[in-house]
Chains A and B, each alone.
Chain A
Amino acid sequence: AQSVTQLGSHVSVSEGALVLLRCNYSSSVPPYLFWYVQYPNQGLQLLLKYTTGATLVKGINGFEAEFKKSETSFHLTKPSAHMSDAAEYFCAVWNQAGTALIFGKGTTLSVSS
């Protein structure tokens, strides 16, 4: 069965510091991987996705993620955090049946000035 594990339910960084949110997946087929962001009382917004091709993918708001098959990882990074990045972040994998996203439990990112 496919699954997603997000290491660290809460990450705190200072404004301007590197953001690193960790995601590991389990999949018996080549995965399609996603990062979503959720602001309070809002739905999920797609940050970036990996389907095929280049393993380093760039998304919105300066975020990027690298698909590493050997490590079964898809960590999200941003070189310099902004206060506006404070939100909940979810990693997800497209299920094998092609009918749903399987989400991790989420990581709350806090940014302090």
Chain B
Amino acid sequence: GAGVSQSPRYKVAKRGQDVALRCDPISGHVSLFWYQQALGQGPEFLTYFQNEAQLDKSGLPSDRFFAERPEGSVSTLKIQRTQQEDSAVYLCASSSPGSSYEQYFGPGTRLTVT
């Protein structure tokens, strides 16, 4: 079956613009995660959903970052008033019921803020 998909794959935004990044998880996966990967670093956790409920958003770096998953499937990560330090690859992952730790990652969205 299809894996996790993310769109767009690449996004260039001018400083101050708002962006929206989309994640389509594997069908049937109730858990969905967002990570931020800066250049040359490992991924860092942003937020976690179980179905439509956002159970952990402790990793969101500021109130400019907002994530939603209204119907428990597709998720959107929104960044308002982008800053240069927001430039990174944003990875989405999903996992099946009963094994949240075994995550399947999408290809990521590379965001460049100029």
Q: Which residues of A contact B (CB under 8 A)?
A: 4, 32, 34, 36, 41-46, 49, 51, 90, 92, 94-95, 97-106
Listed in ascending order, the chain B residues whose CB lies under 8 Å from chain A are 4, 33, 35, 40-45, 48, 55-56, 59, 91, 93, 100-108
Q: Which residues from chain B contact A104 at a C-beta distance below 8 Å?
A: 42
Q: Are A99 and B56 in contact (CB under 8 A)?
A: yes
Interface SS of chain B: loop
Is B41 in contact with A32, judged by CB distance below 8 angstroms?
no
By a CB distance below 8 angstroms, the chain A residues around B40 are 105-106
Q: Is the CB of B103 within 8 A of A101?
A: yes
Complex contact B41–A105 (CB within 8 A): yes
Please give the distance in Å from A4's CB to the nearest CB on chain B.
Answer: 8
Residues of B within 8 A of A34 (CB): 101
A4 contact set on B, CB distance < 8 A = 42
Q: Which of B56, B93, B101, B104 contacts A94 (CB 8 A)?
A: B101
